[in-house]
Structure 1
Amino acid sequence: MALYCSVNMTLLQWIYAGRRKWKWKLEMAVLLIIATLCLLIILQTDFQGKKSQTTRQYKVLTKLKPEPQTRPALFLSSAPKCERNLSASEIQGFSTLPMIIQDFLFYQHCRYFPMLLNAPGKCGGPENSADVFLLLAIKSSPSNYERREVLRKTWASERLQSGVWIRTVFISGTTGNGFEKDRLNKLLELENREYQDIVQWDFNDTFFNLTLKQILFLEWMERFCPDVHFLLNGDDDIFANTDNMVEYLMSLGDNDGSKHLFIGHLIQNVGPIRHPASKYYIPKQVHKSDRYPPYCGGGGFLLSRYSSRVIYNMSHSIPLLPIDDVYMGMCLEKAGLAPRSHIGVRTAGLNVPSGQQEANNPCYYREVLLVHRFLPQQIFIMWHEIQREDLDCAKRTTVSEQNKILME
């Protein structure tokens, strides 16, 4: 019995010791599992924190980073449709005005329109735009495909001229309705895909909206090309000797575009045309004053980036006027600045008394900066004529005689 009890006691002690050892192992295993889970939770929390911080930093960098030029759609604004100002109909004599004038007054306040096409990298981005010496801003309606093609191959070709860069952008609205509008928009889209030189907004590209086109462009320039030195602002039917323009602008010495410059064919001491049959008819309901400030003919003029910025800033407080060149003069006058005449800018054409045959003499155009009213084929021929190395202008007229003709 004693032996039996002794054996049982030994067995019980062994079982109890085994249980204690098993319990200790179990506790250790549980502690190990808990420690592992805690470690995993800590690591996961730290990872999420770093990931969140990285995400926040990325968002900040994304916000500060310039919009990618490979995605033009990111630049296109979705400006709300501008509603007509019905109170315009309460203006005295409104019902007697031509429909085109009425329409202008209804929408005179509208300045923001959806952008359909853009060329954001035209100047290499805002930070590199100082590399552009002369930016050619050419007003062109969607249907004027032939004109744009000729200009790209002649005086508006983008190039390094006398060691400085010339860049080109065509500014446009929309024309037509339905299928015709879509077709012309597609044409501009294909052109822009190939040349990256078109900026287009969804407004009616009409004569009375030329001022709107001008202001939209100046706003575009402030965003994408703020530091270009000089601008040529002109129509797509001008002949511009851009080689001469670069030479003239480089000769200004102390003006690198940071000072006032606005030159062209100066027009002064004139006022609004009050005859309803005229293309330039401006009634008192649109412009009360009987005088216009001095201005340069809108066919083409040269200006500095300083002056373009002044005009843009002044435009915020001056109601739009349908005549775009007069409007530029109004903005300058409000800023206390004035446009100047340049003998080489001939927006009224050359006065050559010898007749049309002599008027086609390239020697006249080798000396000028700009002449208005050229057909595309005339531009193409004249550009190549003035580039001829064997062109001998001494046989025709002397330089003094040419200048005398240009001054008439």
Structure 2
Amino acid sequence: MRRIKSRTILLVVTFGLLVLYICKDLSDHKTNFLQINVGEEDSQARQATTKTSYVYSWPRCQQNVSAANVTGFSSLPGNIQNFLYFQHCRHFPMLLDLPDKCGGADQSAEVFLLLVIKSAPENYDRREVLRKTWAKGRLQNGVWIQRIFISGTASSGFEKERQNKLLELEQREYNDILQWDFQDSFYNLTLKQILFLEWMERNCPNARFLLNGDDDVFANTDNMVEFLQGLKDNDGSKHLFTGHLIQYVGPIRSSGSKYFVPVQVQESEAYPPYCGGGGFLLSGYTAMVIYNMSHSIPFLPIDDVYMGMCLAKAGLGPVHHIGVRTAGMHIPSNKLDYYDPCFYREILLVHRFLPANMYLMWQRLHDPYLKCKHKQIPL
């Protein structure tokens, strides 16, 4: 009798240990959730108590060592080699999340214009100015504007640790940062875009429209709301993708160029039509189409071209908007002030503004006593 009891106890203990082992193994390979503290949006953040949320995390993607077997691999620049090693990676651990930014997936249709701003961790001064100017979360013309900065990390070491802490502090105060644990670099901008769209599908699928842009653009979001509200029969549920249209171009094969794309990355000599990545407007519908198309299109390191590739596969295309100037503003005479606010009253977006000029332009455009002799956007 005692032998039977002993064997029974041994079987129970063994079974229990087996279950614990299986659970641990599954937890090492499936997504997991980490608690963080996030505050409320903008001015309410300082008064609000922090609330517990969860970060959606994936296992770290490993490099594809077989990429080194590509013909001519050893002669490629280091950034291209690194891109090829990790070109297959679509998921990275999330460090900072905003699961309730749009009021939850079910309430996300209340967000009329979602500002999705690409920002490297070190660009604190740019983010601070944007929060005070065109990217301020607010009710505009009766509709809601919300802001999100999307970021990766510094490469490694103490710098990565410091910058991650900086973003964490910003998150506590402003609740406006999405961050993943991948190296924030020019050739990883496509990865950043797709990671955001994955987040959007999960947390903000019904946002009406998006501005996708860099943190050094001046965006007249007042004008954007007016433009989007004036669209006929499109509340964000139909195709829209507009900005500075670029077409009839192909990969730059010069290794000294920032935009260098060798044949090992793309053999074709032609790009589809696309809009300059400094900033473009798109509907929530089109954002989800791009995300769905991206599942079957290998990453290209030039993010704006990749958006065009996804549109082309869906049978859709971008259109030009005269008010989007990602190549900068053309002022008709060097005797005129490039930063005269009257040139910017009707534009939607201009690329490459320093933070001080950004702040000043926003204030001057909202001066009720501003008087302009010239009203047109310079061509």
What TM-score, normalized to structure 1? 0.80
Distance (whole Å) between structure 2 residues aligned to residue 205 and residue 231 of structure 1: 22
Instruction: Identify which of 56, 63, 74 aligns with 1:76.
Output: 56
Distance (whole Å) between structure 2 residues aligned to residue 384 and residue 346 of structure 1: 20
| Corresponding residue of 1:380 | 359
User: For 1:135-284, what aligned pairs fall within 5 Å after superposition?
Assistant: 135-284=114-263
Alpha-carbon contact 2:119-2:214 (below 8 Å) kept: yes
Deviations 1:194-224 (A, max 9, x none): 1110000000000000000000000101111
Name stretches of at least 5 consecutive residues in structure 2 with no aligned partner: 1-34, 39-50
Distance (whole Å) between structure 2 residues aligned to residue 189 and residue 356 of structure 1: 45
Question: What is the SS of the residue equivalent to 1:303?
Answer: strand
Deviations 1:167-216 (A, max 9, x none): 00000000142211111101000100111100000000000000000000
Question: What is the SS of the residue equivalent to 1:374?
Answer: coil
Please identify which structure carries the higher strand content.
2
Displacement after TM superposition at 1:277 (Å)? 0.6
| Corresponding residue of 2:64 | 85
Instruction: Provide the aligned length of Structure 1 versus Structure 2.
Output: 332
What TM-score, normalized to structure 2? 0.86
Displacement after TM superposition at 1:354 (Å)? 1.5
Distance (whole Å) between structure 1 residues aligned to residue 308 and residue 207 of structure 2: 22
Distance (whole Å) between structure 2 residues aligned to residue 275 and residue 203 of structure 1: 27
- Is 1:361 aligned to residue 340 of structure 2? yes
- Is 1:389 aligned to residue 346 of structure 2? no
Instruction: Identify which of 97, 101, 106 aligns with 1:118.
Output: 97
Alignment RMSD? 1.3
Alpha-carbon contact 2:148-2:177 (below 8 Å) kept: yes
Question: What is the SS of the residue equivalent to 1:239?
Answer: strand
Displacement after TM superposition at 1:356 (Å)? 7.1
Alpha-carbon contact 2:55-2:95 (below 8 Å) kept: no
| Corresponding residue of 1:337 | 316
Question: What is the SS of the residue equivalent to 2:182?
Answer: strand
Displacement after TM superposition at 1:390 (Å)? 0.8
Displacement after TM superposition at 1:350 (Å)? 0.6
Alpha-carbon contact 2:97-2:179 (below 8 Å) kept: yes
Displacement after TM superposition at 1:253 (Å)? 2.5
Distance (whole Å) between structure 1 residues aligned to residue 131 and residue 74 of structure 2: 45
Deviations 1:348-385 (A, max 9, x none): 01100222752111011111000000000000000000
> Higher Cα Rg: structure 1 or 2?
1
Please identify which structure carries the higher helix content.
1
Question: What is the SS of the residue equivalent to 2:127?
Answer: helix
